[in-house]
Amino acid sequence: MTLTAILEAHGGPEQFKLVDLDVGAPAKGEVRIAHKAIGLNFIDVYQRTGLYPMQLPHAMGMEAAGVIEAVGEGVTHLKVGDRAAYASNPPGAYSEARVMPAAQVCPLPEGISFEEGAAMMLKGMTVEYLFHRTTPLKAGDTVLFHAAAGGVGLLACQWARSEGITLIGTAGTDEKCELALAHGATHCLNYRTQDWAKQVRELTHGKGVDAVMDSVGKDTFEGSLDCLKPLGMMMSFGNASGPVPPFDIGLLGKKGSLKITRPTLFTHIGDHATCQAMAKHLAQKVLAGDVKITIGQRFGLRDVADAHRALEARETTGCTILEV
């Protein structure tokens, strides 16, 4: 039996229920992985609240790292005893062990700890697709990145620096701005005390940025459009402040023939080969020291509700993990 956090009804963190489940053996195309550390992400909050509805009851969690205990028929990229990490559907990472599809489970190099592996996969592969698979970006370009001191944001700051890209970040406190700057942001604006859209225009000498990477959603969407240069790309990849309301698509023409996309990691990693390539690229960045994984908070698996409360209250910096 294995301890697992499940959800029986959408709602607040108090909806989590800890149960013991029989994990069983992997079927064809599956593996059984014993978790050493588990990652927390805002998509977990969206699923818990029902913003992203799930068929309930269901185990929760999208990201973890551990050791492969058993391998089903047809799995060739992993074997028993391998260190591995993943970010993938279906949810179920909030557990001591689980059986899951093998295609999106990736080898974890020896030079990366289980804690780092659990903290980096969803956030790091998100940064990988934002910078390399969404719109052409090159050294010398400028991007605006909201929530730059969060788990994804601190990775993005480092990634941009390693690619020679200027990153203008936003964060909610001066301390978080300092953290983003220390991780590679070229500039960071306190959105509570500064007119950040105006400041971005000033920092770019009125030209605007090549791309906006926005996981905040409702509160930043309109200002983000105003920060883009003509033909710039708006990447809306999250809804931390709530979903973006309907808008007149004609605004994109009026503001400079802007482009907009709503990408998801799970589209990109749906293909096995692409997923493995993205994970390998991320691991290379970490092993080279270009990207360091900052774990700001640790909670026990039994304290998952407290972890969610801290995440929603914006009380976290960097990555948050559950220790098994």
Tell me the residue type at 163.
E
What residue ranges of the chain are covered by domains with CATH 3.40.50.720? 135-262
pLDDT score of 314: 81
The model's pTM: 0.93
State the architecture of 2-122+275-323 in CATH terms: Alpha-Beta Complex (3.90)
pLDDT in tens, 59-97: 999 999 999 999 999 999 999 999 999 999 999 999 999
What sections of the chain are H helices per DSSP? 42-49, 114-132, 151-163, 174-182, 196-203, 221-227, 250-254, 265-268, 272-287, 304-312
Q: Give dist(CA 17, CA 89) in Å, integer.
A: 20
- Secondary structure letter of residue 217 according to DSSP: -
pLDDT score of 240: 83
At residue 233, φ and ψ (nearest 5 deg) are -110, 125
Instruction: Show the low-confidence residues of the chain (pLDDT under 70).
Output: none
Tell me the residue type at 240.
A
pLDDT score of 317: 81
pLDDT score of 194: 95
Nearest to 50 by CA among 14, 18, 87, 7: 7
CATH 3.10.20.340 is the classification of domain 135-262: no
pLDDT score of 241: 87
pLDDT score of 4: 97
User: 287-311 in b/e burial notation, b at 16+ Cβ within 10 A?
Assistant: eeeebebbbbbebebeebbebbebb
What residue ranges of the chain are covered by domains with CATH 3.90.180.10? 2-122+275-323
Beta bridge partners of 5: 18
* Distance separating the N- and C-terminal Cα atoms of the chain: 14
Report the phi/psi class of residue 147: left, alpha or beta, with left for phi > 0 and alpha for psi in -120 to 50. left
pLDDT in tens, 155-172: 999 999 999 999 999 999
| Helices and strands of the chain, counted as H and E runs | 10, 16
173: helix, strand or coil:
coil
